[in-house]
Amino acid sequence: MSDTTFLPDFAPAPIPLRDILPWALFGIVLLLALYFIGAEEGATSLISGMYVHEFVHDGRHLLGFPCH
């Protein structure tokens, strides 16, 4: 077995925030959309009434979420 180790001459460059920000916003919007389509009714409802449920009703069926 050899006792030599490989030490790279460079360190990986950090990813700038301006490159991460669009993906982070996309992830947040995606999670919010999934919440409103999948769970916005009944006990987990953030908005009272059935307005959000009726607005995303067809999307719920398209994605396979049961709603009635």
**Predicted pLDDT at 19:** 93
Q: CB neighbours of 67 closer than 8 A, spacing ≥ 6?
A: 41, 53, 57, 60, 61
pLDDT tens string 4-54: 777 778 888 888 989 999 999 999 999 988 888 777 777 777 778 777 777
**Predicted pLDDT at 2:** 65
pTM of the model: 0.61
How far is it, in rounded angstroms, from Cα 37 to Cα 7?
50
**Predicted pLDDT at 30:** 93
